[in-house]
Amino acid sequence: MIVGDSYGTVQKNGVSQMHLSYLNAKAKLKPLIVLVKNHSPDAVISRQLQEFIKLVTRQDNQLHYYDTEEDIEPLLVQAHYNAVANNKMVGGWVRANDEESTTSKKVVYEKPVDILPSTTEVEKNSPDDEDFIADKVSEPIELTDFFEIQYSAQAYEGGNLTDVTRSLTLSWHEILMTLMRIPSTFSSYGLQNAINRLITAKAEVDIKKEMPNVHAVSRCQISQADINNLQRQLVGANWIQLMTYGTRVSQELWKLTFYAKNLLQNHTSSTNKQDE
């Protein structure tokens, strides 16, 4: 992804197509290479672009900075090379144990330059409305599957307070039921609080497996990495979508999609029929 001088035209949902493209890419749970332009101190940059750059910078991305458009191609070659090395990826036409030839390297490393459009081209060819994220499932989730998390908590045992960190397995059905209880629109912080409440309901039983004398548990917190992972999967599965909230991308608000609500309704109906 290339971030240049413009944030792009703000769509009906309050953000630009570039921002929506970024969210969709993050939902794929794959390495994301981001090229950000270095702006001079006296450059006039919109508040939306400044906020978006801050968002991209603080999240777990492979960041590279460029000064002019001439820097982009060599940076992409370098970035792709680093991604291949760091993630131990090998091109489909090259055997893992074979030494790559100079020609093979050229094909592998230059290919992203051919397929990655500039920010201007993305905006030019993008849809005019929010159909980009509506009613399209890119990473389906089965309600009977599970999502494993790490959480921290404080356990009280015999007057002593102990900080614990444990793993916990949640079903996607439990997660969806939790989402249904959140108000119609919610922030990422609201999502985290809801999941923490779900964990709290299970934590005492979970912790007592190793600490049977525990009489109370408090301050249950899902790990930041896992809540970020969870949110990306929810976006990728079309369970939640971005809502309109002015143009401040640092204050994103989300809502549960009709697809997710129907998924739960159909699951409940199917379960009831089986019980009859």
* Six-digit token string for 78: 């370098």
- Which fold would CATH assign to domain 146-275? Arc Repressor Mutant, subunit A (1.10.10)
In the predicted structure, residue 38 carries a pLDDT above the cut 60: yes
Percent of the chain, pLDDT > 90? 22
CA nearest to 145, candidates 273, 237, 227: 237
In the predicted structure, residue 31 carries a pLDDT above the cut 50: yes
Mark residue 190 as left, alpha or beta (left: phi above 0; alpha: psi -120 to 50; beta: remaining). alpha
* Six-digit token string for 233: 């999967």
Overall pTM > 0.75: no
Integer Cα distance of 27 and 240 in angstroms: 11
In the predicted structure, residue 41 carries a pLDDT above the cut 70: yes
pLDDT bin (cut points 50, 70, 90) of residue 28 is: low
Burial class of residue 26 (count of CB atoms within 10 Å of its CB; 0-12, 13-18, 19+): buried
State the first-to-last Cα distance of the chain, in angstroms, to the nearest integer: 52
Domain boundaries, the chain: 2-127, 146-275
Higher pLDDT, 168 or 105: 168
* Six-digit token string for 263: 């998924």
In the predicted structure, residue 110 carries a pLDDT above the cut 80: no
